Chains A and B, each alone.
Chain A
Amino acid sequence: MGVKLLLDKANVPGIRTYEVYRREGGYRSVEKALKQMTTDEIVEEVKKSGLRGRGGAGFPTGMKWSFIAKPEGVPRHLVCNADESEPGTFKDRYLMEFLPHLLIEGLIVSSFALGSNDTYIYIRGEYAWITNILEQAIEEAKAAGFLGKNILGTGFDCNIHVQRGGGAYICGEETALIESLEGKRGNPRIKPPFPAIQGLWMRPTVVNNVETLAAVVPIINMGGEEYAKIGVGKSTGTKLISACGNINKPGVYEIDMTITVEEFIYSDEYCGGIKDGKKLKACIPGGSSVPILPANLLLTTAKGEPRYMNYESLSDGGFATGSMLGSGGFIVLDEDQCIVKNTYTLARFYRHESCGQCSPCREGTGWMEKILQKIETGKGEMSDIDLLWDIQRKIEGNTICPLGDAASWPVAAAIRHFRDEFEWHVKNPELSQTSNFGLQHYADPIHVPA
């Protein structure tokens, strides 16, 4: 049983209410931070913890906080990114739905550290019922004196507001999120200026993911150094993984980043193995935009070493033979899944979600979708595979925001590792409509069920 810092109380009956959450030791970090620590000391603890942004990019949180500008007389804002929209990712939803007070607690401490008197939670519009849960938690915290004016008699004022988005993946990108929070289309801004200098209403702003802000609670309670002892290397603390696809136990798991991918997939504590006794074909380990890996490269690195569930190990080998931990959206595909079709649905997703500002992304995502659909429906030509490769290369790195990269990587990785499956589709236009390419050489022989 691994260490649990975020979800350890998730199963306590009534934990969603302030009363039970408080009785279980909730809001201690607010008392400690506001009464015993300076804002600089809090930032220092977060730096020491080694906490990295849990939304997908993995940027060190303490460093991000230290960039915030503090011009005289200009309000600063903390914004919580609850726009969770990366296919495969549903961990923030779980955390907010079952432990709303953990997020509120982390937000109060973080708002104090950053000097934010009005803090915003930008939540994806579809999570409408969670908006109500969060607003209820905010009211309870306010009634208990942890929000509002002069919190705990320290002179610090803080209000938290929840804003629903309108349905747009791009608003998970922090500058698009800010635009949306200002009541505009979610078009990402050109950086610099970075939000830490000019963000929401051109005021200094920090945007952090839900899980990142929740992790501030154990960091303050146990101290940054103790937190950093959990995990390995630069992958400190715990990480929420949302596992889905063809596994026996889909769900949200908290891991301490020292377990192997093999243990995560096959042990009963986590995914419980592949569904219906089938074989593992491939996996997208960190949300739909990270490279898909065939089973053999997922379980072991190109050097033949076991692969672990952490930032460094999952990216070992670069994009040639590795992937990324990303958002922790862990999508498992069994032997019956078609890589071409899966890639096609993801390409369609990115075409739908492109904001349309940059030509390479606006046009390129549409081309990729059409070509993939052509191959999937048995009308593809061999040259289409090279054309796809060419298009994704021309999108990557040529757009204002990372959506272009996010759209390119899944296509690139699918062709890199499963080119023979694409070719099989082209060569077998009729057969590919009724049957599947299957596993061929991808399965890891040690996991063939008896």
Chain B
Amino acid sequence: MATTFNDIQMTEFKRLVARYPEGKQKSALLPALHLAQESFGGWLSTEALDYVASLLQIEPIEVYEVATFYSMYNLKPVGKFVFEVCQTGPCMISGSDNIIDYIKKTLDIKPGETTKDGMFTLKLVECLGACGYAPMMQVGKIYKEHLTKEKVDSIIAEYRAQATNN
């Protein structure tokens, strides 16, 4: 996987940096890391972090300390689709435990693991602001809400089909 932005990604990077005053380009770090993660296979390698540092003209350590602080940046390779299932209070009282158990069983992986075919990673996360539509999980940029076992089955099938079609 390349760790440099292509032309389209570079245009987006420049749009992000242009939001901030002259000399305050470091402010674009969080959005730039999101862009890098999306561009470089869903995770951020040390090379990717160093690349972002060079683009923003800041020290690599300034990028590392941010990338390790926030929960959305993956510092290890992940599957093609990451199931981030909420386990906090409101989801828990609405049955998230059953959903998590069902996903573990169906995909035969534990939280933090990726299926052997590299398709799915399971992550347990804290509150994502979907408490009224619990239980829920995030997959990429999409929220999947009101989860039931049947719905989990159809979501897995949906992503498998998506992977086959691409």
Contact = CB atoms under 8 A, between A and B. Distances in A.
Given A163-B31, A166-B33, A88 B72 contact: no
B30 A346 contact: no
A181 B88 CA distance: 26
B129 A182 contact: no
B1 interface: no
B70 A183 contact: no
B21 A87 contact: no
Contacts of A129: 141-143
B33 A88 contact: no
B66 interface: yes
A184 B66 contact: yes
A264 interface: no
A352 interface: yes
B27 A181 contact: yes
Interface in B51-108: 56, 58, 62, 65-66, 69-73, 87-90, 92-94
Given A88-B89, A163-B30, A342-B93, A244 B73 contact: no
A346 B70 contact: no
B94 A329 contact: no
Contacts of A243: 132
Interface residues of B, number: 41
B116 interface: no
A167 B70 CA distance: 5
Interface string B8-26: 0000000000010100101
A441 B161 CA distance: 52
Greatest chain B CB density within 10 A among A125, A164, A183, A288 is at A183
A80 B72 CA distance: 21
Interface stretch (A25-33, A60-68, A188-196, A245-253): A245-253
Contact of B69 (A84, A186, A346): A186
Contact of B131 (A120, A127, A169, A242): A242
A90 to B, nearest CB: 5
B90 A331 contact: yes
A166 B16 CA distance: 15
B66 A183 contact: yes
B126 A165 contact: no
B34 A201 contact: no
A186 B88 CA distance: 21
Interface residues of A, number: 56
A180 interface: yes
B138 interface: yes
B132 A346 contact: no
Nearest to B131: A244
B130 interface: yes
Contact of A183 (B26, B34, B72, B93): B26
A139 interface: no
A329 B131 contact: yes
A3 B130 CA distance: 25
B49 interface: no
B134 interface: yes
Contacts of A349: 88-89, 126-127
Nearest to B97: A341
Interface string A87-124: 11110010000000000000000000000001010001
A125 B90 contact: no
Nearest to B16: A163
A164 B138 contact: no
Contact of B92 (A186, A242, A284, A342): A342
B66 A166 contact: yes
A331 B128 CA distance: 15
Contacts of A228: none
18 contacts: A88-B89, A90-B133, A120-B19, A125-B72, A126-B72, A166-B33, A182-B24, A183-B29, A244-B132, A245-B131, A331-B93, A333-B93, A345-B87, A348-B88, A349-B88, A349-B89, A353-B126, A355-B69
Given A89-B129, A337-B93, A349-B127, 17 more contacts: A90-B130, A124-B129, A126-B72, A163-B30, A165-B30, A167-B70, A167-B72, A168-B70, A182-B26, A183-B30, A185-B69, A242-B132, A250-B131, A250-B132, A345-B92, A349-B126, A352-B126
Which 9 A/B pairs are nearest by Cβ-Cβ distance? A166-B70, A183-B29, A167-B72, A167-B71, A250-B132, A244-B131, A128-B141, A183-B26, A161-B19
